[in-house]
Amino acid sequence: MDKLKDKLKSVEAAEEEKTPTTSKAPSTSSSKKTKPNIVSRSVDPEIMGPAEPLVLQVELEGDADKVSMEIKGTGFQATYWLEKVSDAASQETWTKTIPAPTNPGVYRYYATAYLGSYQMSMPGVSGWSFLVE
């Protein structure tokens, strides 16, 4: 039995010598993402007729995986996912063109940027509105 144990140990030792060891080098990637900070949000035009084209735009510093804009008012509430259209060194621009709501009235809009589980919403709720005539 001892001879069998010794043989097993020598086989295991030989296998360890054959098995390469790997280790990960520390990441030196410069592509580390920074949390997004929304610097502006806008709609264009600010006054339009029902169902006319409405451009939603968000500009942010840092990086985002996705950006949304929520519109609320006059019995209407919807969230739109914007598309990244520019990615400068430290600033991103996200936009989407949608049809304006069909009911006349004042609508407020809110922007949120996401990076993984982190989310940042544009502060302030007054003054960020548009009018459907």
What pLDDT shows up at residue 68?
96
What pLDDT shows up at residue 14?
45
Identity of the amino acid at 122: M
- Domains of the chain, first to last: 37-132 (2.60.40.10)
**What is the pTM assigned to this prediction?**
0.73
Chunk the chain into consecutive blocks of 10 residues (it has 133) and report each block's average pLDDT, rounded to whole numbers. Answer: 50 42 34 88 96 97 95 94 90 97 95 95 75 96
Burial group, residue 113, by CB count within 10 angstroms (0-12, 13-18, 19+)? buried
Q: What gap in Å lies between CA 6 and CA 19, rounded to an integer? A: 20
Cβ-based neighbours of 116, under 8 Å, separated by 6 or more = 65
Please say whether the beta carbons of 127 and 104 come within 8 A: no
* CA nearest to 37, candidates 116, 90, 74, 77: 90
